[in-house]
Structure 1
Amino acid sequence: MTTLTIAPTAGARPLADTLTMLRRNLLRAVRYPGLTSFTIGIPIALLLLFVYVFGGAFGAGVAPGVATGSAGRSAYLDYITPAILLFAVVGAAQSVAITAAMDATSGIMPRFKTMAISPGSVLGGPVLGTVVQALVAVAVVLGLAAVLGYRPHAGALGGLALVGLIALVSFATSWLCVAMGLAAKSVETASNTPMILTALPFLGSGFVPVETMPTGVRWFAEYQPFTPIIETTRALLTGTSVNGSTTLQAVVWCLLIAGLGYAWSRSLYRRERG
């Protein structure tokens, strides 16, 4: 069966349509609390696991001279928190892949194509909604880290820069995950495809310094997208000097991922489903 595609009429309002789709995405997050709890629950579980199970030993490795035990856990909490925040961002992006697949397979997306709706809003609204959810998840995880003893030292400008970076990373990964969701044959597949994003922090500087890795793994860790993002996040949280080259790499990676995800999503959205 071929889906009839009608171009948006003059009545389509890109901004208003995007806000409508944003509201729809946020309402869906409320109606499907399982997705929302997954976004926040996994990073919280990882934070507690790595701090209280591995932190006593790993802390001595990431902060030379620190003793094992409670001192090690405190040191490892400081080191690992930036990576866990990015897990919250990736978790939110995974949820938008699932919702995109639900729309694509349920028939609602072909229906949107026949309506006077701005095509960009159908995809852009959920992406913006995911950015909002990611910022909320990051705030919750950061709050828990503070309860455990984490003390960020970012000033006002550093805090604003951190929010901007988190929003940019969420924006980029959300577009990529929307494309993955539209390309998936089923909702179940859409929930699994973005899992590759969760592996990247492990293969970067999120959990251990890249200097401790074997040569081949270290090379990959140094040049993959999440390492400069994690290092920039860590510097902003601690209030230390931000490396300009590392920050530039983080921003460029985000822009490349966002551009790829946007182009792929728009191409899939235009494709007719039989």
Structure 2
Amino acid sequence: MIAVGKVNIGMRRSKNEDSVFVSNESVGPLPNLYIVADGMGGHKAGAIASKLAIDAFCDYIEGHKSNSLGSEENLILLLKRGILHANYVIYNKGLENPDYTGMGTTITLCTVIDGNAYIAHVGDTRLYCMNSNQIKQVTVDHSLVQEMLEQGMITQNDAQEHPQRHVITRAVGTYEQVKVDTLKQSLNGVEYMLLCSDGLTSMMSEETIHKLIYASYSDIEGTIDHLIEKANEAGGVDNIAVIIVKKGEVNTTC
């Protein structure tokens, strides 16, 4: 596994509220860990929420270092409980300080074990899998536009430009309880995983992202730089967080 993560403030925002975490080494009982978080809230609260989410999650995982994962069910439960712990930490931080009341963050994270990605997710930060033939969004956005799509109220083309496309329906830390989506994704035939905030996906189509990742750049860092550059050229209306994880062996189907 090779992974690189970067955050860029974009062209329109005065501060950065996105955070990333990249570890190809063990974190607690997990052999690797990749996280993107996109914070929200007044003052500096969004930046605090996204960083707190990552720190609290990693602290929780490190606190279970001696635990044996044992089974896929235990692994998924550990990821879920880590996010629930982060929700508790952020929510209570908001209660302690009026400047932070109502702050929250999206979070999308995964760990890769035995050719499978184990994913936990809240909000509209995304995880994609791809090879040279195709790109596939693995996570489902927790957003107003996604709900409208599922109800047939708008088309996929409408969703890309919808004025309420940034309205999310779930976040970590905004309420005392949060529902966490968890899933397992086979990486058979997958060459890259992309974790990113909507600062990237709202600025370009999936087809464009796929094309840029498979353009001829010398390394993953150069690829990420080019994705960020193109997102900023398209308007850069939000902070941009990107992690690219490159797998080893690849098949021809996704």
Task: Give the TM interval when normalised to the shorter protein.
Answer: under 0.3
Give the TM-score taking structure 1 as reference length: 0.26
Q: Which protein has the bigger strand share?
A: 2
Higher alpha-carbon Rg = 1
